[in-house]
Amino acid sequence: MLSKKLEKALNEQINHEFASSYLYLAMAAYAESQSLPGFANWLKLQTKEEMSHAMKLYKFVNERGGRVELLAVEKPKSDFKSPAALFEEVLGHERRITALINRLYETALEEKDYAAQVMLHWFIEEQVEEEAAAAEILETLKIAGEKGHALIMMDRQLARRGQG
């Protein structure tokens, strides 16, 4: 059985995961408007991944006898100066989510909820991967530049995410 404190914190994280999904979809729309279908592909897959994170938490709350309460999702940012600025936002967002997951883990520790701690280990490891992927794309954009052949080749590389 979940404590009320942990149940509230998990519901807030569910909201953050849905908001992340919505943000990545807005980012995908921006990328498509800039004729960058590969970037859009990467971001749309990220949208699905964030949705699956929310549902993983949703299932956990229900399995532990808690009650999921869905909260409002704010309108996401949808305009960016450049592909690099877009991925600076992605990396910053993932770092914020990491901080939220860490705080959620601290709550599970305080509440002595061992099952939540075990489940949250998956999220902690996932955030390491999320930050690394965003940082790699951002660094590549900085090295390659944001115009010409390098950007087109990078867009094609991002288009291959999820194909195998």
Q: Which CATH number characterizes residue 12's domain?
A: 1.20.1260.10
Instruction: Check residue 81 and report its DSSP letter.
Output: S
Q: Is pLDDT larger for residue 146 or for residue 125? A: 125
Cα first-last separation, the chain: 40
Q: Is 25 within a domain?
A: yes
Q: Is 114 within a domain?
A: yes
Tens-place pLDDT, residues 119-143: 999 999 999 999 999 999 999 998 8
Whole-number pLDDT of residue 144: 82
Q: Is 164 within a domain?
A: no
Task: State how far the Cα of 113 lies from the Cα of 59, in Å rounded to an integer.
Answer: 16
Q: Which phi and psi angles does 159 have, rounded to 5°?
A: -65, -25
Counted domains in the chain: 1
Tens-place pLDDT, residues 24-75: 999 999 999 999 999 999 999 999 999 999 999 999 999 999 999 999 999 9
Looking at the chain, how many residues does it have?
164
Nearest 5°: the CA angle 98, 99, 101 is 65
Spell out the long-range contacts of 109-112 with Cβ–Cβ below 8 A and sequence spacing 24 or more.
110/5, 111/3, 111/5, 111/6
Q: Is 125 within a domain?
A: yes
Tens-place pLDDT, residues 61-102: 999 999 999 999 999 999 999 999 999 999 999 999 999 999
Q: What type of residue sits at position 151?
A: L
Query: What is the residue range of 69's domain?
Result: 4-159
Q: What mean pLDDT value characterizes the chain? A: 95
With a cut of 90, say whether residue 151 has pLDDT above it. no
The confidence band for 150, taking pLDDT boundaries of 50, 70 and 90, is confident
Q: Is 87 within a domain?
A: yes
Q: Is pLDDT larger for residue 149 or for residue 12? A: 12
Number of C-alpha atoms within 13 angstroms, CB side, residue 59? 7
Q: What type of residue sits at position 48?
A: K
Whole-number pLDDT of residue 101: 98
